[in-house]
Structure 1
Amino acid sequence: MEGELCKLPEIIAICKKYKVYTYLDEAHSIGAVGKIGRGVCELLGVDPADVDVMMGTFTKSFGSCGGYIAGSKELIQYLKYTCPAHLYATSISPPVAQQIISAIEVILGGDGSSRGAQKLA
């Protein structure tokens, strides 16, 4: 939140060496850093497939609510069955989903403007 970035390529190398998971918190970077707003992996040239778990929020750059967890199919299935936050939460509503989609379109320039690129710069 204070603008610090981790040394992700080095962290990935250590995680691979010792066979441990990498969990990347993109809450303050997704939609805000990288050439087209894809976050820390894009900015630092890391293959997102090398990150085991990615977490982000739709409240910052997307002006919406909710968030996401991304990972392998097995991991997501495990979380769906065991995570209390998932068990007691509700799905996002259609207007919230549309806000997220609209924000992504602006960030990527799909709205025909350069507002997203200007904000990223």
Structure 2
Amino acid sequence: MTRWSVVRDLKINSVAQSSIVQIGDNESIVPMTRALAIQRAFPYFWDDEGNFDYPIFSRDIPFMGAQENLHMSIDNRDSAIQVGCIKVVAIAVSSVLQVGSNEKIVADSRIKYFRQFVTNAPSPSKQ
């Protein structure tokens, strides 16, 4: 049976950073994000800061298998998935909004945060 995904009204302010909006069925979605987030008191940045050599970007992701047996009964009485209204402020960092069915979603988001602020503590070169 062919099935339709019908959305009457969809309002999304922002979709960013490898996120996906999927209306309809799909087999596989694999959104991935790699990011460095640097926050400083003064906005000075150097050319050699943009590397992804940190362990967070190369670690294996543990597989989260189902914790219980699921028994599911499906009765598609209609040839359409019908949705009235969806309002979303933002979808970001490898997120998925889908109206429809999907066999597999593998979302991976890895962000290394740096926060550097001015303090009264002496720097190592001045000790």
* Pair in the same fold by TM > 0.5: no
Question: What band does the TM-score fall into relative to the shorter chain?
Answer: under 0.3
Q: Which has the higher contact order (CA 8 A, sep 6+)?
A: 2
TM-score by length of 2: 0.21
Choose between structure 1 and 2: higher strand proportion. Answer: 2
Q: What TM-score do you get using the length of structure 1 for normalisation? A: 0.22
Structure ranking higher in helix proportion: 1
